[in-house]
Amino acid sequence: MMSNGYEPPLRFAAALDQLHDLVTAETGHDDFGPDDYLPGLRVLLRSMDYDPRFTVAGRRTAWGHVVGVLRGRASAIAAMKAHPGFDARPILSPVVITGVPRTGTTALHRLMAVDPRFQGLQSWLLDTPRPRPPVESWQDDADFRRSVALLERRYVDAPAKRAAHHVAAEEVHECCMLLRQSFVSNLWSCGWSAASYDAWWCAQSEAAGYDHYRRCVQLIGANDPDKRWLLKNPGHIENLDLLFAVFPDARVIQTHRDPARALPSLVSLLMAGHGAMEDGRAAERGALMLARETAKWSHAVRKAEKVAERHPGQLLDIVHGDFHAQPMAVLERIYAFIGMEMPDATRMAMAQRIADKPEMQHGVHRYSIADYGMSAQEVRSAFGDYVARFDLAETGR
């Protein structure tokens, strides 16, 4: 594993001041915004001492992740102060893609991003939020080059992730990368064993995180205030109430797939990174992870259903199998739902991307539910009538 240059402390829980001093020295900024991020950060650092069995390199990588996210928060706050009025214009009717992970959200997001009338959250700007500069300047930008290097190191550490979920610095990415700057985030339970943090997180509100997220979106789009936003994050289905609180007129596209296919795929993706972080217990971690993800996302689906009932006409359901079989027909439905025409040039560009199958260029992601200690029926049962209601069960696979 390649070093990220950050030597971890002997005890993470005792390193809160060290962490802030490190970020301040690196960025020149000592303002981290409202203190609502501190409780989660403290719990996370204690969890990092207790829950995972880090390898030496994994310990360094985990510390680097925490440093990087806090650096991103400090950078965002500094950019907000440097650009007064960045939040003067409201975000109108953003298009938001969500759904249980591995249900086609990424493929749909990147396909719709072909439409130049949308703006999105490029990966590199999630690392250091600031008003998006002209695209022709990105290659010469130090922050952009750092993000490229970090992503490449990620695939050196965990090569299987490239086929499972490739991320590029210049491509649109997920809102959760901004939400995790609150340190109240599901993401902190995904990169390594974090059961004590996870137990704390499950009882928290992410309202403060959504407020910070909204401000970051306004900041990043400050140079393009009239462009419509295209956003994506699976985790929004657990927090649709908070999403509609910050974006009241959002148009939400929720994707659906057999959870007995989607969740083992998610666990396989997460486990691909765990091997570079922790020693041993792989089979146990995988089984616990599938049980955890099944409980989490079945709860999220039920919660989303209740919120959607209070926002009639603002959510469109898309079944993964339909999108896979007839992507252009599904896109026609989506564009009608969001109230936009699809110009011929955009239609041709989307058709070309579909034909090129860019999501397959890094290989095929292979996984099996049999590796994770649950049957397909056990996973589906946790979702109640959801699978039958959308006719999601994939038989013979």
- What domains are defined for the chain? 12-389 (3.40.50.300)
What percent of the chain is predicted at pLDDT more than 70? 92
- Return phi, psi of residue 92, to 5°: -100, 130
The widest CA-to-CA distance across the chain, in whole angstroms, is 59
Q: Quick one: the chain helix, strand, coil %, rounded to 5? A: 60, 5, 35
Region of residue 47 (left: phi > 0; alpha: psi -120 to 50; beta: else): alpha
pLDDT for position 362: 57
- Return phi, psi of residue 102, to 5°: 70, 30
CB 288 within 8 A of CB 294: no
Distance CA 214, CA 290 (A): 31
Of 101, 229, 108, the residue nearest 176 (C-alpha):
101
Helix (H, G, I), strand (E, B) or coil at 244: helix
- Return phi, psi of residue 394, to 5°: -100, 105
Distance CA 115, CA 126 (A): 21
What's the distance, CA 343 to chain centroid?
29
Structure tokens that stand for 381 in this block: 């049962």
Distance CA 181, CA 73 (A): 6
Of 238, 237, 232, the residue nearest 172 (C-alpha):
232
Amino acid at the residue 237: I
pLDDT for position 66: 97
For 198-217, write each residue's pLDDT tens digit: 999 999 999 999 999 999 99
pLDDT for position 162: 47
Of 175, 395, 374, the residue nearest 293 (C-alpha):
374
Kindly give the parts of the chain with pLDDT less than 50. Answer: 1-3, 161-165, 397
pLDDT for position 2: 37
Tallying the residues shown for the chain, one arrives at 397
| Helices then strands, each counted (H, E), the chain | 18, 5
CB 71 within 8 A of CB 26: yes
pLDDT for position 275: 82
CB 63 within 8 A of CB 12: yes
Residue with tokens 């952009």: 144
Distance CA 221, CA 131 (A): 6
Amino acid at the residue 63: W
CB 325 within 8 A of CB 331: no
For 332-367, write each residue's pLDDT tens digit: 999 999 999 999 999 999 999 999 887 666 556 677
Region of residue 68 (left: phi > 0; alpha: psi -120 to 50; beta: else): alpha
Compute the C-alpha angle 220/232/336, nearest 5°: 105
Helix (H, G, I), strand (E, B) or coil at 384: coil
What's the distance, CA 255 to chain centroid?
15
Compute the C-alpha angle 186/191/196, nearest 5°: 60
Distance CA 174, CA 191 (A): 16
